């Protein structure tokens, strides 16, 4: 099933949601209305118990997302974004379902921030990345500065933030910013293969693992992270789930588990 909106399209393939930014005439740059539309798409993904993993990518071969549509801003000024941030994702901190960025081209400014807000980044060999805001008299205040500093070392992050220098996908891989770089023709196939592995795991266990990893980084110490993890909502849901029992039962019976997401 495919849903078309002005800024994007949404395809649901079993438990997988594929969101494609569809503004190729402006290199998939986003104006505020597009971010509000994408926020709605991610709201629906988050709320649907039958959707377990999301992919976000860009239409065409040139650009994943070139960030903010600056021509639109020059004409209409700065307009408010949804509470969940640029593209409805960069400030969405309560989503425990995994999101995979499939970067098919340029990811600049807010587009790089969008990719960094995802859990896994798979990039085409001709993808480019850059927090280019300083070259336009702006700053990357959509989470890009903070996430980049967490993804790579401080010195590298500072250089990239202060200069706006663009990275090749291979450089991004070497700096631990992306998970994989593949030939462009293999990008979709590779993304599907990664997603398939996630979907083979128990969905509630995946969500508990994501939430534990991210919240653990914000705990004051490793000891606090270990002590507090049992109170995380996704962990409590996992502990009480049928899937937790099904996983142990399937292992003991030497068969593939039948995950229900409950």
- Catalytic residue numbers, as ranges: 113, 133
Alpha carbons 223 and 67: distance in angstroms, whole number: 39
**Which DSSP helix (H) or strand (E) runs through 163?**
helix 154-163
Number of neighbours of residue 248 by Cβ within 10 angstroms: 11
Which runs of E-coded beta strand occur in 104-243?
A: 106-108, 120-124, 128-130, 167-168, 180-182
Cα dihedral value 47, 225, 228, 46, nearest 10: 0
* Nearest of 160, 81, 67, 73 to residue 109 by alpha carbon: 67
First to last CA, the chain: 24
Buried b / exposed e over 95-123, threshold 16 CB at 10 Å, is bbbbbbbbbbbbbbbbbbbbbbbbbbbbb
């Amino acid at each position: 099933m495919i849903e078309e909106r002005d800024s994007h399209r949404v395809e649901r393939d079993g438990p997988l949601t594929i969101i494609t930014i569809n503004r190729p005439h402006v290199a998939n740059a986003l104006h505020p209305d597009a971010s509000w539309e994408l926020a709605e798409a991610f709201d629906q993904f988050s709320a649907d118990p039958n959707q377990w993993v999301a992919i976000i990518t860009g239409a065409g071969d040139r650009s994943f997302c070139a960030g903010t549509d600056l021509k639109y801003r020059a004409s209409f000024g700065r307009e408010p974004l949804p509470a969940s941030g640029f593209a409805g994702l960069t400030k969405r901190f309560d989503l425990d379902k995994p999101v995979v960025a499939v970067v098919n081209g340029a990811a600049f400014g807010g587009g790089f921030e969008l990719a960094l807000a995802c859990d896994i980044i798979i990039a085409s060999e001709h993808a480019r990345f850059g927090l280019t805001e300083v070259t336009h008299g702006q700053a990357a205040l959509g989470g890009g500065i903070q996430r980049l500093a967490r993804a790579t070392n401080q010195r590298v992050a500072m250089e990239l933030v202060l200069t706006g220098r663009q990275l090749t996908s291979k450089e991004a891989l070497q700096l631990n910013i992306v998970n994989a770089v593949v030939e462009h023709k293999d990008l979709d196939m590779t993304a599907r293969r990664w997603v398939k592995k996630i979907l083979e795991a128990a969905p509630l266990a995946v969500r508990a693992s994501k939430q534990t990893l991210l919240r653990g980084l914000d705990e004051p110490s490793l000891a606090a992270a270990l002590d507090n993890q049992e109170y995380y909502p996704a962990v409590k849901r996992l502990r009480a789930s049928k899937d937790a029992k099904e996983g142990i039962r399937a292992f003991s019976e030497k068969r593939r588990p039948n995950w229900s997401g409950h």
